[in-house]
Amino acid sequence: MVKPCMHPLLSDLTVTSGGNADPVTPRDPGMRPMKQNTPAIASLKQQARRLRTAMHEAGTPISQSAALEAIARQHGHRDWNTASAAARWENPPRWQVGQAVRGRYLNQPFTGRIKSASEGTGGFWRLTLQFDAPVDVVTSRHFSNFRSQVRCAINSQGVTAEKTSDGTPHLALFAA
C-alpha cells in the first residue's frame, strides 16, 4: 500500500508498506537535493531516528536501515553508504608542526612532516609539508620534476579544493 507521509517535514516522501519495495521514496523522481552540504554522520543518524519515530507515531513503522536510506535520499545521495562517505567528519583533524603525515600529492604517494600549520576560517588549514623523499610531480616518461616541499590549503576532510583534470584533489592528507 502506498500513502503519502503526513509529517510536515517529510511531505515530499511516499511510504510503501508491505512487499519488498523501498519503504520510503521521493514522490517526485526528478527531485535531487544538493549534495554538497551533507551534514555530519551523527546528524544524519539523528535525523533517521526522528524519521523512524515520526513514522511509528503515524502508524507506519519502518526499520532503522530504511530510515537511514530515506535520509540519504533526502540529502541527494543514492543510498546510505554514499551519504556516509560524503558526510563531514564530526571532529576534523588538528594539524600540528612536526606531525608525521602521509597522503597523495598529484596522485603520487608520499610520507612527510608538517613544517608549518595555521588554522584558517571555514575549517581550512594552511600547511607547509616537507616530504621524506622528493615526489615526482610529472607523469611524463621524458622528464621529471621533483618536489621536496609543498604549501597547500586543505579542508576539514584533509583534501585541497584544487583538482587535477581528472577530478582528483591535488593533495589528500592523512595523519601517519
Q: Between these two residues, 57 and 9, which has the higher pLDDT value? A: 57
Relative to beta strand 2-4, strand 13-16 is antiparallel
Q: How much is the pLDDT for 97? A: 93
| Ramachandran category for residue 107: left, alpha or beta (phi over 0 → left; psi -120 to 50 → alpha) | left
Q: How much is the pLDDT for 31? A: 44
Whether the pLDDT of residue 142 is over 50: the answer is yes
Average pLDDT of the chain is 81
Q: How much is the pLDDT for 13? A: 54
Q: What is the DSSP letter of 153?
A: E
Strand arrangement of the beta sheet that strand 2-4 belongs to? 2-4, 13-16, 24-26
Each residue of 93-130: pLDDT tens digit?
578 999 999 999 999 999 999 999 998 877 789 999 99
Q: How much is the pLDDT for 120? A: 82
14 vs 24: CA distance, rounded Å: 6
19 three-class SS: coil
Whether the pLDDT of residue 131 is over 90: the answer is yes
pTM of the predicted structure, to 2 decimals: 0.49
Each residue of 10-67: pLDDT tens digit?
555 555 444 444 444 444 444 444 445 677 787 888 899 999 999 999 999 999 999 9
Q: How much is the pLDDT for 113? A: 97
Residues 6+ apart with CB under 8 A from 156: 88, 89, 92, 93, 123, 124
Each residue of 81-91: pLDDT tens digit?
888 888 766 55
